[in-house]
Amino acid sequence: MDVSVFSPAKINLFLAVTGRRADGFHDLVSVVVLLDFGDELQAEESRIQNSESKRFSLECDVPDLLVDETNLILKAAAAFAAATGWRGGAAFRLTKRIPLGAGLGGGSSNAVAALRALNELAGGLLGEQRLAEIAATLGSDCALFVKNAPAVMRGRGERVEALPAGAVRRLSGRRVLVFKPSFGIGTPWAYGRMAARGGDYLAAAEAEARLTAWVGGTAPAEEICFNNMEPAAFAKFVALPVLREKLRREFGVAAQMSGSGSACFALLGEDFVTAPLVARIREDWGPAAFVREARIA
């Protein structure tokens, strides 16, 4: 049996990191949406010949991606087998479209895609709640991809709450231009740098107040956009704020970094012509820059 699962990218429209916890993680409040572009994960069921056989394997069309046991796909597979007692195996093939080190949730999305693929191969052993519980053990963003809808994330990201229908209507189908320079930003570095700086946190009460005001109102998605991880990243990676200012000045576009970066995004109107904007991005960041138009799913 062979199954294929779409593995979407995400962007953080609103990301307020509110402080560092005793366990070393950070608390946050975030409005997160999934996009209609992403990776594709195939899983082919394989027979286990003996106890020494390798149960799970992974191939990818991007050479830079590690495909050993550190990859979240294989971690998810091991977690699924441990939780269900399923005795089968699978060979995974990942078609990678989400760039690495981007803050677009590619690894977490891939992990959940692996859980879904194995659950289908195994005959649907787990319901959504149990899948979410397993996903939460794999990474902070993983529970979001089980929900598969615009959501609010809290805690370190494991607490996911669906957005009210009115807020979802203001988001669904919006055009988004996602763009990333040739370099990535490591998530551990970004959070570590934020902790070292100390002054970039937003109080939890203020973050919740901003969120409540937007959810309860009628303002468009642009009004909730915020990311307090930007100052730490922008201080080191100056290409990000320099281009953002050019896009604001030349095109009236308000760009923002997603998550811990380095990918940025801009919400676009339906009549906005993207070609000059894309040309400016490539002029500043070079032909290796990733640029992709998408829509909020």
State the CATH number of the domain containing residue 189: 3.30.70.890
Residues β-bridged to residue 252: none
State yes or no: is 141 an active-site residue.
yes
Q: Which of these is catalytic: 27, 75, 141, 147?
A: 141
pLDDT for res 1: 85
CB 100 within 8 A of CB 62: yes
For range 264-290, the mean pLDDT: 97
* pLDDT higher than 70, residue 52: no
Is 122 found in the same domain as 187? no
Residues 219 and 156 in one domain: no
126 and 26 both lie in a single domain: yes
Domain presence at residue 285: yes
Question: Do 148 and 89 share a domain, yes or no?
Answer: yes
In a shared domain, residues 180 and 225: yes
Average pLDDT over residues 93-110: 96
Residue 76 lies in a domain: yes
Q: Identify whether residues 202 and 128 lie together within a single domain.
A: no
- Both 41 and 115 in one domain: the answer is yes
Based on the fold, state whether residues 179 and 157 are members of the same structural domain: no
Residue 176's pLDDT band (cuts 50, 70, 90): very high
Range of the domain at 87: 2-162
Q: What is the mean pLDDT of residues 122-126?
A: 95
Q: Which one is catalytic: 10, 75, 147, 180?
A: 10
Among 162, 196, 211, give the residue marking a domain's end. 162
The pLDDT tens digits of the residues spanning 222-276 come to: 999 999 999 999 999 999 999 999 999 999 999 999 999 999 999 999 999 999 9
Q: Determine the Cα–Cα distance for residues 30 and 201; give it in Å rounded to an integer.
A: 13
The number of folded domains in the chain is: 2
Question: Rounded to an integer, what distance in angstroms lies between the CA atom of residue 181 and that of residue 285?
Answer: 6
Q: What is the pTM of this model?
A: 0.92
- Residue ending a domain, among 112, 130, 162, is 162
User: Are 143 and 70 within 8 A, CB to CB?
Assistant: no
Positive or negative torsion for Cα 251, 252, 258, 260: positive
What pLDDT shows up at residue 207?
98
Assign residue 112 the CATH number of its domain: 3.30.230.10
pLDDT at 45: 94
- Both 132 and 196 in a single domain? no
Confidence of residue 91 (pLDDT cuts 50, 70, 90): very high
**Is the torsion defined by CA of 285, 290, 293, 297 positive or negative?**
negative
158: CB partners within 8 A, 6+ apart: 136, 140, 143
**pLDDT exceeds 80 at position 53:** no
Task: Confirm whether 167 is domain-assigned.
Answer: no
> Does the structure show a pLDDT above 80 at 19?
yes
pLDDT range class, residue 140, cuts 50, 70, 90 = confident
Residue 182 included in any domain: yes
- Model confidence at 50: pLDDT above 70: no
Asked which of 133, 162, 191 is the last residue of a domain, the reply is 162
177 and 101 in a common domain: no
pLDDT digits (tens, 9 = 90+) for 181-222: 999 999 999 999 999 999 999 999 999 999 999 999 999 999
